[in-house]
Amino acid sequence: MSCTGKIRFPAATWRAQLNTTLPILVVAPDEGLRRSIAFALEVEGLLVVLAESFPALEAENDAKTIGCAVVDEGAVTTLSDGWRTLMALSVPIILLSDSAKSVPAAFAGSILRKPLLGGPLIEAVARAVGPRVPAR
């Protein structure tokens, strides 16, 4: 447990929530970031699909074969209609952002601040693809 005011769940709790039958889509223009996120997710036994941009993300979303999408803000801000495209997705979204100030108020997904550590990412994915973790 940390004393930062945020609720942290033991690893065993959020690991039990992970749905490994559907892959997690990772969208980031930076190849190093994509691979780093993929590694963190694969270590937890999750299937991962990588995409550099939204066209690939939209194709995956249409197939309805992903559990959730982890999207770097850079993939959103490089498109003129990036925020609209992101918010139209029908899967849970985890946005990786440098600053919450740039995120529209209408965005209903989860936001993780960069720099990113593995634990908070895995917890966010577990919450996105699994049933709600009961509060303690």
Task: Give the tens place of pLDDT for each residue, 66-99.
Answer: 888 899 998 887 767 788 888 877 788 999 988 7
Residues belonging to the chain:
136
Question: Rounded to whole angstroms, how far apart are CA atoms 22 and 3?
Answer: 33
What CATH number belongs to 19-129?
3.40.50.2300
- % residues pLDDT > 70 (the chain): 70
Whole-number pLDDT of residue 29: 92
Whole-number pLDDT of residue 10: 45
How many C-beta atoms lie closer than 10 Å to residue 124's C-beta? 22
Helix (H, G, I), strand (E, B) or coil at 2: coil
Kindly state the average pLDDT of the residues 21-27.
86
> Domain limits of the chain?
19-129
* pLDDT tier, 132 (very low <50, low <70, confident <90, very high otherwise): very low
| CA neighbor of 118 nearest in space, from 6, 23, 42 | 42
Least confident piece of the model among 11-15, 25-29, 43-47, 74-78: 11-15
pLDDT tens across 57-72, in order? 555 555 467 888 899 9
| Whole-prediction pTM | 0.74
